[in-house]
Amino acid sequence: MKNYKVPTLTIAGSDSSGGAGIQADLKTFSAIGTYGMSVITAITAQNTQGVFSVEELSKEIIKKQMEAVFDDIPPKAVKVGMVSGPEIIVEIVDSLKKYNPEYLVVDPVMISKSGYSLLRPEAKENLIKYLIPMAYIITPNTPEAEEITGIKVESIDDMKKVGQKILDMGPKFVLMKGGHLEGDAVDVLIGKDVFEIYKSERLDRKNTHGTGCTLSSSITAHLALGYDIKESVRLSKTYITEAIRYSFDIGKGVGPVHHFY
């Protein structure tokens, strides 16, 4: 049930072409029916053809954005996407500890589909040490799960095993996204007493820019609206599948998914 007075927050990078990052998150928050807010960590110059440049914002302005949002409109659920550098992660973690939002969704963004690094190599350690353990749910795809654990993920059995390893790092739930494997798109939700498999048909679509951002912000919005974790993931899986089904050609490269199909 939509409720535009329920505040949700994304802490992430800006995508100038509007298909991923902050822009995808805010569109998703609106489509699911919440009030979206943003703390911008980095600005990317990108379009459907690639990422051309990234400029990180200072930790001071990130702290100020967090204060401004939390002091006035405390979000019910928060999503963290692109965090870019190690100092930014420390600042975000400090602020999140201070304000302690009920739900924290971490999308461990590392590399764009076009191959551009959105997380500096030296930031990986802080992501693993400080941010992942705080998460209510973390949503890695298989290459990200491999980066986090150092273990190859080539099958659904591997997804379960590596998902459990990430769960042992401290988050309450792990959603392992199997979209990079062959066959149906299978995601696995793992928690202490939770094990769910979500399967959807593989859609042969070219325009998939922003899929990861959209799925994690949909989970964030559903949690904020009061759905439990299994329902939030199930409804978000349906939302992203349909957003991919109705994705469209705009620009010269990989177009966006459709947030308002």
Query: According to the binding rule CB under 6 A, does residue 179 interact with ligand PLP?
Result: no
Whole-number Å distance between alpha carbons of 102 and 128: 21
State both tokens at 79: 């999503």
Site for ligand PLP in 84-143 (CB under 6 A): 109, 112-113, 118
The residue nearest ligand PLP at its CB is: 21
Smallest gap from Cβ 208 to ligand PLP, in A, equals 7
Site for ligand PLP in 212-231 (CB under 6 A): 212-213
State both tokens at 28: 């998703």
Whole-number Å distance between alpha carbons of 59 and 87: 7
- Tell me if residue 191 is catalytic: no
Out of 10, 142, 213, 255, pick the active-site residue.
213
Smallest gap from Cβ 10 to ligand PLP, in A, equals 9
Out of 212, 214, 220, 241, pick the active-site residue.
212
The residue among 15, 34, 53, 92 whose CA lies nearest residue 220 is 34
Residue 44's DSSP bridge partners are 15, 54
Minimum CB distance to ligand PLP smaller for 167 or for 244: 244
For residues 111 and 118, is the Cβ–Cβ distance under 8 A? yes
Minimum CB distance to ligand PLP smaller for 119 or for 162: 119
Out of 211, 214, 220, 241, pick the active-site residue.
211
Exposure string of 24-59, with b = 16+ CB inside 10 Å and e = fewer, is: bbbbbbbbbbbbbbbbbbbbbebbbeebeebebbeb
Out of 210, 237, 241, 253, pick the active-site residue.
210
Whole-number Å distance between alpha carbons of 194 and 26: 29
Encoded one letter per residue, x for contact with ligand PLP by CB under 6 A and - for no contact, window 12-51 reads: xx-x----xx----------------------x-x-----
Supply the residues annotated as catalytic. 177, 208, 210-213
Contacts to ligand PLP by CB under 6 A: 12-13, 15, 20-21, 44, 46, 81-82, 109, 112-113, 118, 209-213
